[in-house]
Structure 1
Amino acid sequence: MGRLDKEKLIQEVREKGVEITNINDLMKINMKYRDLVPILLKHLNEVTDESDKEFIVRCLGVKGFVEAAKPLISEFYKSNNVSFKWAIGNSLSIIADEESLPEMIKIAQEKEHGIARQMIVDGLGAFKREDVKSVLVKLLNDDDVVGHAISGISKTGDKDLIKYIEPFITYKIKWIRNEARKAIKKLEKA
């Protein structure tokens, strides 16, 4: 198909009873528009242009749109475009699908995806599970995702993990030092 047929997408959305004035309104949808997920996934599957695909991926980044998680993971593996994969990871971190957690943990540890993994790593902390905590601590040794691993650890609420973050308050990169300080403060309050 190539490019996204925006008029067709708008029409299909309106047929579901959702009144939108333009295509960008789809970036503002929330859980009450869950019945739009199949429409968005259909268009994601039909479109080949990655900038259009990225737009759809970002629309699907809604907490609880769990039916989008598996198709997004599939898209992640099909692409070589780092920014597109990063957007997919961001949407997956927002969706936070427990059922897709094993695939997210797997992607987080696959170094060949480089910085495209960052938001998946960051989002793992929301699951607060021991296996996730272990992966996040291991990822502190991965330069592509270290800052996002620190952020993920801060979301676990586990004070015992502070000792793993402390060495990063003197890290060579300023934003990571700042992330470490912020994470320690957050965990101390947990």
Structure 2
Amino acid sequence: MTPTDDAAATRLLDEYRRAGGNADTIADIGSQRSSAPAAIVLVAEWLAELEDRWPGPETEGRELARLSLVNGLNRKESRKTAAIPALISQFDHAKTTSSRVRWAAGNALYSIPAGKEYFEQLAVIAADRTFGADRQMVVDWLGKSRHPDAAAVAVAQLDDDTVAGHALDALSKLRAQGVSKQVEPFLTSKFPWYRRNAERIIRYDES
């Protein structure tokens, strides 16, 4: 930990405790079973503004803090709060966010889940292949969004091996219609999960 890391970590923990959080270390922020509304707001603010509040390069300390903040927002109390934009911001290409942090942010957006009012932003992330497997759970989130354009975004990702299974899962959740032709190749996939979802999608499509 650098002196900057130490100072920022101390400030974060102090503010987190004053907001009603219970943590002895930065890692504890991400492992709480539940959080007070004020703590959710505080964690979201820190995550969205981390580069300003914890200046300098992405040190190991700041990356671990970023991951803990992301995990700290992955809870039902984050619904309809500033947590969602803060998590989406981790997919900003201008940030030096690691792959594991982006994946965790996507997983949080799926688990909370983000509301369909964020569909346009999340659809852009789901379709951005430069994010590779980091966007898997964002692609899967399309199935929870119930947005009328979600199926089209998911279908467009079926030829990307890094997210194809998650795209199938989304289409299954959506009970997508008119996609049998695109899904049929997965009926013989070596992955049982792919086969099951393909069968389910085709069954919905033909019903």
TM-score (norm 1): 0.78
* Change in CA separation of 1:53 and 1:26 when aligned onto 2, cut-off 3 Å: closer
* Change in CA separation of 1:99 and 1:79 when aligned onto 2, cut-off 3 Å: farther
Deviations 1:128-171 (A, max 9, x none): 22211111111111122101101111221346545543321212
Q: What RMSD over aligned residues (CA atoms) do the two structures have, in Å?
A: 3.0
Q: Does 1:16 align with 2:19?
A: yes
SS in 2 for 1:79: coil
Query: Who is 2:31 aligned against?
Result: 27
Query: Who is 2:135 aligned against?
Result: 117
Query: Who is 1:71 aligned against?
Result: 86
The 5-angstrom pairing of residues 23-172 of structure 1 reads: 23=25, 24=28, 26-30=30-34, 33-44=36-47, 45=50, 46-47=53-54, 48=58, 49-63=62-76, 64-77=79-92, 78-95=95-112, 96-158=114-176, 161=179, 164-171=182-189
TM-aligned CA deviation for residue 86 of structure 1: 1.1
Structure 2 unmatched ranges of 5 or more = none
TM-aligned CA deviation for residue 57 of structure 1: 0.6
TM-aligned CA deviation for residue 12 of structure 1: 3.4
- The structure richer in helix per residue is 1
* Change in CA separation of 1:135 and 1:109 when aligned onto 2, cut-off 3 Å: same
Work out which of the two has the higher radius of gyration on C-alpha atoms and give 1 or 2.
Answer: 2
Distance 1:40 1:16 in 2: 9
SS in 2 for 1:130: coil
Q: Does structure 2 conserve the Cα–Cα contact (< 8 Å) formed by 1:159 and 1:188?
A: no
**Equivalenced residues, count:** 184
TM-score (norm 2): 0.73
Amino acid at match of 1:179: Y
Query: Which segments of structure 1 move beyond 6 Å, counting only runs of 4 or more?
Result: none
